[in-house]
Amino acid sequence: MKKSILGLLALLAVCSCGHESQENGAKAPTRVKTQIVAPAFSDDAQTYVGIVEEQEGTAVSFTGMGVVKRMLVNEGQAVSRGQLIAEMDDTQARNLLSGAEAQMTQANDALERYKMLHDNGSLPEVQWVEIQSKVAQARSQYEVARKNLADCRLEAPVSGIVGRKLVGAGETAMPSQAVVTILDISSVKVKVAIPEAEISSITPSTPSSISVEAAQKQVSGGRIEKGVQADAITHTYDVRIHVANADRKLLPGMVASVRLLTEGSHAITRKSLPVTAVQKAADGSLFVWTVAADSTAHRSKISIGKTHNNQVAVSEGLDIGQRVVTEGYQKLSEGTKVVF
């Protein structure tokens, strides 16, 4: 019994010494993620909102009036030059062609019969000329009837995509009434309204950067067409920037963000950090946790500028090369040892 008591006391003594040793030992550093403040180069280019437009738009229509029998294309469909787009009811056109063929056959038969008389000198010259005129007239009517039949088929005059389908099967198409519009988007234009105070700084070769979120695409703009007539209400001038569109992802009507590096713009250097690294103190001031040379964390007050793509520009309070805590700052207090 005595030995058991002594063993228990020895065990308690060992535990007590271990606990005391843990309390007296140094606290483990806090693990964090950090980022070095580096320069971010950008420019003070002007930013505008633009609209994507087709390079060319063609309204396709029948030349005559009639009921549309078939529509063979849909909006957004790619078409090639010469492809059949729609057909009109051609019953009347076929009947007219048949009549014109019969009249031309009859006129040609008469011409053959009277030719022998003319060659023998038995036919007056006046009557021979009249017969030739009737043959020419019959041939002309036949050609018109044949063209009218051909015009019942509407073919694409250019290649592109169908923008709008304005007439459906069963509807009556009028002469020169647009049935579909065909858009050339192998290249596009981005239209931007420029205030009159800024239009003079834009030239046909002004560099531009265009971002279209709907197409998830960012491209460099090409040649610029500058309008010369201002809008009477907004006092802005339209400029159109040519943009290559080989993959046809840019579609008419999409909204674009346009940056123009106009004359007088220049490159500038900014410091930026992730937005999540910036904290707000009780007094409303902003700060970040910076790491000193001895691996201790300290609060550093900062001033910020614009935010872009989850990055915020830092205007005051940090120097290039400083290390800033970006994750794990919730566990920090002034002077906390950190490891990264």
Burial bucket for residue 186 (CB in 10 Å: 0-12, 13-18, 19+): middle
Examine residue 199 and state whether it is found in any structural domain, yes or no.
yes
Point out the domain boundary residue: 263, 281, 310.
263
Q: How far is CA 242 from CA 87, 102, 212, 222, 274, in A?
A: 36, 56, 14, 5, 35
Q: What is the reported pLDDT for 264?
A: 57
Point out the domain boundary residue: 238, 263, 288.
263
Point out the domain boundary residue: 263, 294, 323.
263
Q: Are strands 30-31 and 338-339 parallel, antiparallel or unpaired?
A: parallel
End-to-end CA distance of the chain: 54
- Amino acid at site 55: Q
Q: Give the SS3 label for residue 28.
A: coil
Structural domain total, the chain: 3
Return d(Cα 224, Cα 237) in angstroms, integer.
13
Domain with 279, as residue range(s), is 30-44+268-339
Task: For 208-238, give the DSSP string.
Answer: EEEEETTTTEEEE---EEE--S--TTT-EEE
Give residue 189's Cα distance to chain centre: 10
Return d(Cα 85, Cα 59) in angstroms, integer.
12
pLDDT tens per residue across span 64-90: 999 999 999 999 899 999 999 999 999
| Secondary structure element (H or E) that encloses residue 241, with its range | strand 236-244
Q: Does one domain contain both 227 and 81?
A: yes
Return d(Cα 312, Cα 277) in angstroms, integer.
9
Return d(Cα 201, Cα 203) in angstroms, integer.
7
Question: Phi and psi for 211 in degrees, rounded to 5?
Answer: -120, 125
Mean pLDDT computed over every residue of the chain: 86
Q: Does one domain contain both 222 and 166?
A: yes
Q: Does one domain contain both 171 and 219?
A: yes
Q: How far is CA 171 from CA 55, 58, 259, 322, in A?
A: 30, 21, 46, 72
CATH at residue 209: 2.40.50.100
Q: Does one domain contain both 133 and 216?
A: no
The pLDDT tens digits along the chain (340 residues) read 444 444 443 444 444 444 443 444 457 899 999 988 876 655 556 789 999 999 999 999 999 999 999 999 999 899 999 999 999 999 999 999 999 999 999 999 888 888 888 888 888 888 888 889 999 999 999 999 999 999 999 999 999 999 999 999 999 999 989 999 999 999 999 999 999 988 988 999 998 999 999 998 989 899 999 999 999 999 999 999 999 998 889 999 999 999 888 765 555 556 878 888 999 998 999 999 999 999 999 999 999 887 766 778 888 899 888 999 999 999 899 999 999 8
Q: Does one domain contain both 82 and 159?
A: yes
Q: What is the reported pLDDT for 13?
A: 42
